[in-house]
Amino acid sequence: MSRVLVAMSGGVDSSVAAALLVDEGHEVIGVTMKTFCYSDIPAHGKTCCGLDGIMDAKRVASTLGIPHYVFDVEEDFTRDVIDDFVSEYARGRTPNPCVRCNSNTKFRDLLARGHALGCDRIATGHYVRVTHSDEGTALLRGLDDGKDQSYFLWGLPQEMLPKLLFPVGELTKSKVRERARTLELTTADKPESQEICFVPTGDYRDLLRKRLGPVHPALEPGTIVRADGTLVGEHSGFAGFTVGQRRGLGGGFPEPMFVIEVRPETKEVVVGTRDELFGSAVAVRELNWLTDTPSPGDAVRVQLRYRAPAVQATVVDVTGGEMRLALGDAQRAITPGQSAVLFNGDRVLGGGRIV
């Protein structure tokens, strides 16, 4: 068996992933990536080693009898994930920081550190699977439809796939919890984390205010308009709006209104009816492929947000780092900044960020 580095967040999934690998006889090394500080007062406390996730992971590692280390990636994470998150909102887009982290920070760092520690393989608690064949390694959806996390992993470098293990991808969430309880892991009944890890309060606008400063166009009042330019209201900062949103638009409309576009250059939030929210053309940039690059005319399925179903689409073209897709059926709230992930059945082909 081999030496495996397991990224342990302190949550139940990665705890069980580590446990399964121990059971399989691997030499397992647990690591937790310290990505940020909860504290807003870093002036004197230059380190914060007391993050709950780290403590939970340490306890689980101790239960499993494996070593555990903390990887401090705060600087890289801030630059590659948090700064991107903030600048995307400032540009009127809706970022997905988990995709960004997996593509740019987490796996890259794990692999580099794993190499230094003599590890052959890297494992995480994601609900996805990898299969190996003569044609290479494929990334597949996790078996549990309700938990599948393949949407977040399209940005992995293709050459990394053969080194990755996703032990819980073969299980359902309830099996994972059952397993954790059998092992008496402290994290067995920990609630699901829903929030973005660096926005524990859930109020991302608060983070934007802190990082953009009090005076920034994205946080200044602007107008709410219809697609034809008709003024229908005012808002307190376009960074608080995402395509498909209903909240915060004020009332008095004859029918339900949704955000259909954010225009940062004029600070306008454009609203429209449910019908106006649907679109059938998608442009995608920052592409990454886990298989060969698709060709124009290819029939694929595309997932446009986490937990949305993959829908039928045709590749129109792939040129100059941009791919255009024509959707079989118009979809609701195609949101710039979110990912478009291409599938063939359960297999992840790759993806990019929606323009």
Partner 1 sequence: MSTVYLDHAATTPVRDDVIAVMEPYMSVTFGNPSSTHRWGQDASAALEDARAKLATAIGAHPSEVRFVRGGTESDNLAVIGGARAMSTPEARPVVLVSAIEHSAVLEPAEWLHDRGEAEARVIPVSSDGQLDLAAVTGGLNERAALVSVMWANNETGLLLPVADAVAWASGLGAIVHTDASQALGKVPLDVADSDVDLLTATGHKLGGPRGCGVLYVKDGVEVEPLIFGGGQERALRPGTEDVAGAVGLAEAIHLAVAELETSATRLRSLRDRMEARLVDRIPGLRVNCGNAPRTPHILSLGLPGIDDGAAFLMALDLEGVAASGGSACHSGAAAGSHVIEALYGSNDPLITVRLSVGHDTTESDVARGADAVGTVWARMSRGA
Contact positions toward partner 1, by CB under 8 A? 29, 34, 43-44, 46-47, 49, 67, 69-75, 112-113, 116-118
Neighbour order of strands in the sheet with 258-263: 231-235, 222-226, 268-272, 258-263
Q: Which of 37, 98, 101, 119 is catalytic?
A: 101
Closest CB to partner 1 among residues 6, 334: 6
Burial (0-12, 13-18, 19+ Cβ within 10 Å), 355: middle
Q: How many residues are recorded in the chain?
A: 355
d(CA 86, CA 36): 15
Q: Which two tokens stand for residue 75?
A: 């600087």
Tell me how far, at minimum, the Cβ of 207 lies from partner 1, in Å. Answer: 22
Closest CB to partner 1 among residues 106, 305: 106
Measured N-to-C along each axis, helices 12-23 and 52-64 cross at an angle, to the nearest 10 degrees, of 20
d(CA 121, CA 214): 45
Cross-strand bridge partners of residue 315: 325
Tell me how far, at minimum, the Cβ of 60 lies from partner 1, in Å. Answer: 17
Tell me how far, at minimum, the Cβ of 49 lies from partner 1, in Å. Answer: 6
Catalytic, 37? Answer no
d(CA 315, CA 318): 8
Closest CB to partner 1 among residues 75, 265: 75
Q: Which two tokens stand for residue 112?
A: 């580099």
Tell me how far, at minimum, the Cβ of 31 lies from partner 1, in Å. Answer: 8
Closest CB to partner 1 among residues 60, 138: 60
Tell me how far, at minimum, the Cβ of 73 lies from partner 1, in Å. Answer: 7
Tell me how far, at minimum, the Cβ of 160 lies from partner 1, in Å. Answer: 18
Phi and psi at 119, nearest 5°, equal -90, 135
Residues 6+ apart with CB under 8 A from 243: 94, 258, 259, 260, 261, 262, 277, 333, 334, 335, 336
The SS3 call for residue 27 is: strand
Closest CB to partner 1 among residues 93, 121: 121
The SS3 call for residue 148 is: coil
d(CA 282, CA 278): 11
Tell me how far, at minimum, the Cβ of 253 lies from partner 1, in Å. Answer: 51
If one counts every other C-beta atom within 10 angstroms of the C-beta of residue 281, the result is: 12
Closest CB to partner 1 among residues 116, 215: 116
Q: Which of 37, 98, 119, 197 is catalytic?
A: 197
* Strand 121-123 to 3-7 pairing: parallel
Beta strands of 212-277 (E only): which ranges? Answer: 222-226, 231-235, 258-263, 268-272
Q: Active-site residue numbers?
A: 101, 197
